[in-house]
Amino acid sequence: MFDLPVDTSRERRAYRHFVKYLTNEGYVRIQYSIYSKLIFNRGTLLHQMNKLKREVPLNGTVQTLTVTEKQFSEMAYLVGEAPQGMIGLRTDRVIEL
């Protein structure tokens, strides 16, 4: 998750660049400033963290949280009314490549 200032045109440009970087690296947006990515092992995680550190805008704050696939699949969605067409995440719906 991240918090980036967008007051000046330079900050907005840095914000767009960072979001584009996340998208190009395979991160998926969960909420407005919250992105996630499935990473298969610790070595890849450390590599991704180092790449991410190089892309953080100077005035930005980026926080990371590492969870297992099982923990992620057990995320609870608390909403007033379930959105139409939303597919729930379950551990039995895993695609192996």
Residues 6+ apart with CB under 8 A from 89: 72, 73, 75
pLDDT digits (tens, 9 = 90+) for 29-63: 998 899 999 999 999 999 999 999 999 998 899 99
Distances (CA, A) of 31 to 28, 57, 96: 9, 20, 26
Is the pLDDT reported for residue 9 higher than 90? yes
pLDDT digits (tens, 9 = 90+) for 54-90: 999 988 999 999 998 889 888 888 877 766 666 665 5
Nearest to 69 by CA among 30, 41, 32, 35: 41
